[in-house]
Structure 1
Amino acid sequence: MKKTTALTLAATAAVATTLGLSGCTTDADTASYNLSQAAEQFEIERRITVTTGFANEVALQVEGRCSVESADSFLAGALEITCKIGPDRYAKHFVVKGDNDIVTIQQTETVDVSVYHHRVLIKPENLLPEFDYEAGEQ
């Protein structure tokens, strides 16, 4: 009976330790996450540069408040770059990476992101669906 209790306590301690360690995040993880969130909200200035490996020349350079994501649509292995260029104006670029191309994404300004608090972004336009209402004669 004592052996079973000891095994149960050891198993419980192992599970608790595993769960405790898997939930640990460092300040660097938190800051990285906060920077990524700010970039997706077009709050961070970036420079995206595509360099060709064969000619070792800059093929494309985009600067501004840009979001960079993998293009999951029709272009396999492409990058989708969306930049905010005005209050309600956006531009989209696609970069199809070749075998020898190098893409660098640089943050061009420092940004103060706190590791001590979080923020919640609520966009009402994403909560309420856009719908068309038609009223006809009866």
Structure 2
Amino acid sequence: MKKRMAIAAMALVLLAGCDSDANVASRNLSQAADMFQINRRIVFYNGISGDYILTIEGLCSLGNNDGPKEVTVTCKTGPNAFKKHFLGISDNVTYFAEQIDAAGVNTYHYKVIFKPSVIIPDIEWK
């Protein structure tokens, strides 16, 4: 097991040298946002009327597996409390996500996060 981890670490080190600082920082910011560490403002905008339709602010993550005409936004609202929003995108409605506060990320190292609660699932008995 230790040998596999060492090989994986070496591969990451080699691959890290093949990417630009901007790409590493961008990936690390996205991962921090997915861990609810980045304050964001997501605005849904009607391109025809010029009106804001919806604004969501907080520790929010944009959906990673959304379809072409949909967006999910998951926000952390407390220590173990979350809200998830499902939104549709049309020809005249678009959105943008703004990072509200600056965040320090390392441009030389990738961040790897292991979550035991994901590896070992919580089983509910009914």
Secondary structure of the residue aligned to 1:38 is helix
Counterpart residue number, 1:92 = 84
Aligned-residue offset at 1:101 = 1.2
Find the aligned partners of 1:104 and 1:52 in 2 and give their Cα distance. Answer: 11
RMSD (CA atoms):
2.2
The answer to whether 1:36 aligns with 2:30 is yes
Give the alignment partner of residue 47 of structure 1, picking from 41, 49, 63. Answer: 41
Which amino acid counterpart does residue 49 of structure 2 have in structure 1? A
TM-score by length of 2: 0.79
Q: Percent same amino acid at aligned positions?
A: 38
Find the aligned partners of 1:68 and 1:132 in 2 and give their Cα distance. Answer: 28
Gaps of 5+ in 1: 1-19
Which amino acid counterpart does residue 81 of structure 1 have in structure 2? V
Deviates more, 1:94-103 or 1:113-122: 113-122
Structure number with the bigger relative contact order (C-alpha 8 A, sep ≥ 6) is 2
The structure number with the bigger radius of gyration is: 1
TM-score by length of 1: 0.72
Gaps of 5+ in 2: 1-13
The answer to whether 1:61 aligns with 2:51 is no
Report the number of matched residues: 111
Aligned-residue offset at 1:36 = 0.6
Give 4+ residue runs of structure 1 displaced > 6 Å after superposition.
Answer: none
Instruction: Indicate how the Cα distance of structure 1 residues 133 and 105 shifts in structure 2: closer, same or farther if over 3 A, else same.
Output: closer
Instruction: Indicate how the Cα distance of structure 1 residues 54 and 37 shifts in structure 2: closer, same or farther if over 3 A, else same.
Output: same
